[in-house]
Amino acid sequence: MINNIANKTAVVTGGGSGIGYSICIALAKKDINVIVIDLDLNAAKATVEYILTEGGIAQAYALDVANYQNVIDVFENIKQQHTIDILVNNAGIACIGNIEETSEEDLDRLFQVNIKGVYNCTKASIKSMKSQQSGVIINMASVASSVGIADRFAYSMTKGAVLTMTYSIAKDYINDGIRCNCVAPGRVHTPFVDNFLEKNYADNKQEMFDTLSKSQPIGRMGYPSEIASLVCYLCSEEAGFITGSNFPVDGGFVTLNN
């Protein structure tokens, strides 16, 4: 039973939808105070509203994780009211295309959100975690951090950086009571997938959904709740011996897809 993280505070970026939403709900069920951060304040508020109706504790903040000063200001506000025990760097965006199809604007946009966003939020949290000699940081990487995936040049670049940032943070702060790990999902059935299919394969959505599902050896896409369950475990004291590790949650994609 993962029940020893109650009464702590977790900040979850990108908590308004998809995997981030499920992480917020799962943490709230462990009696954690969840700070839901999202670029879309209404989406963050919707997550909070659900948590409150289920008897949990949560607050919503609008935040552009790519904006350093915005991050510092919001996190200072949070720290005036709460101790940040857990940080989940989940916010991220995707980009489809090889290097020829990736514009400079695409590359810069993904760098700002997927890489600098992790830097900004971790930078805003790490000093207080050091002072309390405890903290857990979970970064959302991807199978694209470890293996080549066609037409994901910019996305793979950013997620590879997330993986190596995780290693560096874990190494640098191991003596400060701070653990840092990353979770690397395969293809997960989120609204992003549905929107992608609607936009690009409106006439054969189900066929493409089945094709994408079968790209994982297990034969289906993951569920956001499955990612959230692992995050809850990594935040708990049961995972106290785990730091500097990467956890694929991918239906066998990395190791069996050959």
List CB contacts of 195: < 8 A, sequence separation 6 or more.
Answer: none
Across residues 49-64, what is the average pLDDT? Answer: 98
Q: Does 111 map to a domain?
A: yes
Across residues 37-48, what is the average pLDDT? Answer: 98
Query: Per-residue pLDDT for 58 more than 60?
Result: yes
> Would residue 155 show up in a list of annotated catalytic residues for this protein?
yes
List CB contacts of 203: < 8 A, sequence separation 6 or more.
Answer: none
The domain of 202 spans 189-221
**Same-domain status, 129 and 174:** yes
| Tally of domains within the chain | 2
By percentage, how much of the chain surpasses pLDDT 90? 88
CB 176 within 8 A of CB 130: yes
CATH number for position 108? 3.40.50.720
Query: Per-residue pLDDT for 57 more than 60?
Result: yes
pLDDT of residue 6: 77
Choose the catalytic residue: 68, 155, 201, 223. 155
**Same-domain status, 180 and 193:** no
Mean pLDDT (the chain) is 95
**Same-domain status, 100 and 132:** yes
Q: Where are the alpha helices (DSSP H) in 136-237?
A: 153-172, 191-200, 205-214, 224-235
Q: Does 4 map to a domain?
A: no
pLDDT of residue 26: 98
Q: What is the pTM of this model?
A: 0.95
Listed in order, strand segments (DSSP E) in the chain are 9-13, 33-38, 57-62, 86-89, 135-140, 178-185, 246-249
Q: Does 227 map to a domain?
A: yes
Query: Per-residue pLDDT for 195 more than 90?
Result: no
End-to-end CA distance of the chain: 36
**Same-domain status, 213 and 175:** no
SS3 assignment, position 165: helix
**Same-domain status, 168 and 198:** no
**Same-domain status, 123 and 200:** no
Q: Does 3 map to a domain?
A: no
Tell which residue, 19, 2, 18, 28, has the closest CA to residue 10: 28
Helices and strands of the chain, counted as H and E runs:
10, 7
